[in-house]
Amino acid sequence: MAIQAYDVKARKMVSVIDPESYHMKNGKWAIKGKSSETGITVFKIVGANKPKIEGSRLNSLKRAFRFSRY
């Protein structure tokens, strides 16, 4: 099941690409990632419990070892 978040540019719910959990200052958790429609950053507040994102370890390793092409 793909994670859905609201894309303000597309004005609709879209699936999130490369989702990662984000801990906010107020102690709540959110999911942050890229929109599948427009590519902008989307943010979804999920609550007090840390979200379980499938494949998040693999995605974080990919980001850690990504090299710049320029």
- Domain enclosing residue 47, as ranges: 4-64
- Residue pLDDT, tens place only, 6-61: 999 999 999 999 999 999 999 999 999 999 999 999 999 999 999 888 765 566 66
pLDDT digit string, tens, across residues 34-49: 999 999 999 999 999 9
Name residues whose C-beta falls within 8 Å of residue 19's C-beta, 6 or more positions apart in sequence. 3, 31, 32, 33, 53, 56, 59
13 belongs to a structural domain: yes
41: left (phi over 0), alpha (psi -120 to 50) or beta: beta
What is the tally of structural domains in the chain? 1
